[in-house]
Amino acid sequence: MVEPRTLVSPNNETISGCMSPVAGEYLTVGLSSVKREKGSYLQNTLQSIFSESSEEELDQMVVVVLLADFDVSWIRETLQKITDQFHLQLSKGQLLVIHVNEDYYPPLTGLKRNFNDAPDRVSFRSKQNVDYSYLLHFSSNLSQYYIMLEDDVSCANNFLSSIREHIRSMNSNWVTLEFSKLGYIGKLYQSKDLPILARFLYNFYQEMPCDFLLLHFHRLLMQDKVIRFRPSLFQHMGTYSSFRGTFNRLKDEDFVKEVADNPPADIRTNIENFKTNVAEKAYSQGSGYFWGVSPIGSANYFLVVFREPVLISRVCIRTGLEGKDELVSADVELGKTLVKTESGVDCLGFHTLGSLQNGQFNEPDVQRLVPEPVACLRIQVTASQMEWVIINKIHVWTVKAGKTMRNVSKAVLRPK
H or E segment and range at residue 139: helix 119-139
* 208: Cβ contacts below 8 Å, ≥ 6 apart: 114, 115, 125
Residue 39: helix, strand or coil by DSSP?
A: coil
User: Is 354:331 a contact under the CB 8 Å cutoff?
Assistant: yes
Residue 183's pLDDT is: 83
Q: Compute the C-alpha angle 234/180/90, nearest 5°.
A: 40
Residue 166's pLDDT is: 87
CA distance 184 to 188: 10
User: How is residue 398 annotated by DSSP?
Assistant: E
- How many residues are recorded in the chain? 416
Residue 48's pLDDT is: 97
Q: Compute the C-alpha angle 292/318/384, nearest 5°.
A: 45
Other beta carbons within 10 angstroms of residue 11's beta carbon come to 7
- Domains of the chain: residue spans and CATH: 14-236 (3.90.550.10), 265-398 (2.60.120.260)
Pairing label, strands 389-398, 95-99: unpaired
Cβ neighbourhood burial of 291 (10 Å; 0-12, 13-18, 19+)? buried
C-alpha count within 13 angstroms, C-beta hemisphere, residue 412: 7
Q: Compute the C-alpha angle 412/376/304, nearest 5°.
A: 145
Residue 14's pLDDT is: 40
Cβ neighbourhood burial of 302 (10 Å; 0-12, 13-18, 19+)? buried
Residue 13's pLDDT is: 41
Name the nearest CA neighbour of 67 among 76, 55, 59.
76
Ordered per-residue pLDDT tens for the chain, 416 residues:
666 766 543 333 443 333 444 456 899 999 999 998 777 899 999 999 999 999 999 999 999 999 999 999 999 999 999 999 999 999 999 999 999 999 999 988 887 887 777 887 888 899 999 999 999 999 999 999 999 999 999 999 999 999 998 898 888 899 999 999 888 899 999 999 999 999 999 999 999 888 889 889 999 999 999 999 888 999 998 665 554 546 557 788 888 888 888 999 999 999 999 999 999 999 987 768 999 999 999 999 999 999 999 999 999 999 998 889 999 999 999 999 998 887 778 899 999 999 999 999 999 999 999 999 999 999 999 999 999 999 999 999 998 754 443 333 334 444 44
Question: What HEC string does 69-91 produce?
Answer: CCCHHHHHHHHHHHHHHCHHHHH
User: Is 167:176 a contact under the CB 8 Å cutoff?
Assistant: no
* 97: Cβ contacts below 8 Å, ≥ 6 apart: 6, 7, 15, 16, 64, 65, 67, 79, 82, 90
Name the nearest CA neighbour of 97 among 7, 162, 17.
7
